[in-house]
A and B are shown apart, each in its own frame.
Chain A
Amino acid sequence: MMENLIWGYVYPNEAEIQWSILIVLYPYITGLVAGAFIASSLYHVFGKKEIKPVARFALLTALSFLLVATMPLLTHLGRPERGIEIMFTPHVTSAMSGFGYIYSFYLIVVVLEIWLSFREDIVKNALNSRGWKELLYSALALFSYDISEKALHDDEKLAKRLAIIGIPSAAFLHGYVGFIFGGIKANPWWSTPLMPLIFLMSAIVSGIALLILLYIIAMKLRKHAIDHKCLHSLAHYLWIFLILDVTLEMLEIISMKYESLEEIEIINRLLSDKIATTFYGVQLTMGIFIPFVLLLLVGMIKNRETLKMIMISISSVFVLIGVFAMRWNVVIGGQEISKSLSGTLTYVPVFFSKEGVLPAIVILTIPFIILIVVTYILPPWKDMEEEPERNPDK
């Protein structure tokens, strides 16, 4: 069986693929975090008022996914119990060693940002509830209940500063994940200085798409009117970042093919054989081209909000699948070519195993559960209920 999976010559130690589907999941999840955070800062930093309805929800989404970002990594480690060493003795020359600190810093920024934007609600809840709820909200308020205008003003100022710090750290959190791959000179499919930028752009794209979908689903569940201005604005940003994303991805492939270095033969085989479907089919056509056209149409069609919403939803789903395929093509694709440049391997995902598909599905489900719990404790929709906007469609 092994023989059929291997073509040409691979180094004997390469017979097994080392980074499994869990490592595909890891950049996918951090990408969603970075994207959701950057979407929220469109409001918090750049003052894009039309994003306001989802700004706080975007922060909670970022937190929910951030909390599980370490899970695929820890599950994958041979010695998970030693994982904390990355915090205690980070080796500075390693692109991976930054993970612990960048992650922690970013977690602090996101938690503080959420705390500041929800503090008014937390304090009000603490004062108006009894029993365990009172205790919970009081603890969240750090037993300090000042919500005078002055206090809230200070909070807002700090929140804005944090968001300003947050953007580069979100970009860094994900850009460095790209560098983990881009900095590996041993692997010609990974080694490109464009990798961090490609990762960042696809992160933003996937984060916005996730936010759009979660927003639509949440509104449907709450039987609340969708703010179409907000939705279209998000769709607009999604479209812009899609263009940046595809430009960089194409630039990488084109320059690789044009320069035709030693490794071009094996890269061509990778693209035309191993990952042809997931690359040309899913990543480029489904994940970029179709959403690009659909979103373009959304921009041109007048009225017909329901149709536009459906088109935006489809685009978002496709983008999310496409970005997952992109992560797959990088992480798995890069390992399917031998570093001998003379052969290829095939990764066959196992369903039930420590590094199989099942744990991947479980890990990808957890953030949604966290999100449900967090939105229950800290409802992010308050702004909308104060100024209800009835949708003519409903």
Chain B
Amino acid sequence: MNGREPLLLNGEKIMQPHLKRAFTLLALVIIAFIFVRSLVVPQSFGQYGWYRGDSVNEIKNFQVEYAGSAACGEENCHKTIYSVWAKDRHKTVNCETCHGPSEEHVGNVRIMPPPANDSRDYCGLCHFKRAARPANFPQIDPETHGENLKCTYCHNPHKPWFI
């Protein structure tokens, strides 16, 4: 790199020694930088684009928490209640929406998910009358309907019209 530098200053004459030293110093810093960079930048950087390729797999390997309703009905575990649920109107409500994320439980039955939330307010998240809800969606006025009892007192959450 240094061979060219003298021209920077003077066409024919040799560069002043102090300038030569300054530029050598600068060149050394730049070379050191390039060297350090080559050591520090992760191997997989640039593998697929301007990012660390390994991070795709790292994100892919994150822990799943929600197993999905199908996992509950499989292998005879909760087959009866599953078949009741699967035929009724709440079949669009995933088991874990009320019972909580259960992937751990699917992998090891001894780990129990928290008990299902059967409070009146929880059912109300979907079914209390709200102005912004589509009008054709089943809604009740909590003031007049059900005398402030738990909804499950009358309704079976797995088969809601079964009273």
Give A residues with C-beta under 8 Å from B.
84, 87-89, 91, 108, 112, 115, 119, 141-144, 146, 150-151, 154-155, 157-158
Query: Does chain A have a CB within 8 A of B40?
Result: yes
Could you tell me the distance between the alpha carbons of A181 and B8 in the complex, rounded to whole angstroms? Answer: 37
- Interface status of B9 (Cβ within 8 A of chain A): yes
Across the interface, name the chain B residue whose C-beta is closest to A148.
B16
- A151 and B16: CB pair below 8 A? yes
Q: Give the one of A89, A115, A157 with max B CB within 10 A.
A: A89
Contact residues of B with A, CB < 8 Å? 8-10, 16-19, 21-22, 25-26, 33, 37, 40-41, 45, 50
Q: For B40, what are the chain A residues with a Cβ–Cβ distance below 8 Å?
A: 84, 88
Q: How far does the alpha carbon of A393 sit from the alpha carbon of B160 in the complex, in Å?
A: 97
Distance in angstroms from B15 CB to nearest chain A CB is: 8
Chain A nearest CB: distance from B24 CB in Å? 9
A147 CA to B16 CA, complexed, in Å = 10
The answer to whether A151 and B9 touch across the interface, beta carbons within 8 angstroms, is no
B8 CB contacts on chain A under 8 angstroms: 158
14 residue pairs A–B, Cβ–Cβ below 8 Å: A87-B37, A88-B41, A89-B41, A91-B50, A112-B22, A142-B18, A143-B21, A146-B18, A150-B16, A151-B16, A151-B18, A154-B9, A154-B10, A154-B16
A84 to B39, CA, bound (A): 13
Write the nearest CB–CB distance from B11 to chain A, whole angstroms: 12
Determine the chain A residues whose CB is within 8 A of the CB of B21 once the complex forms: 142-144
Q: A142-B21, A143-B21 are in contact. List 13 more A-B contacts (CB 8 A).
A: A88-B37, A89-B41, A108-B26, A112-B22, A141-B18, A142-B18, A142-B25, A144-B17, A146-B17, A151-B18, A158-B8, A158-B9, A158-B19
In the complex, how many angstroms separate the beta carbon of B28 from the nearest chain A beta carbon? 12
B42 to chain A minimum Cβ distance, whole angstroms, is: 9
* Nearest chain A CB to B35 CB, angstrom units: 12
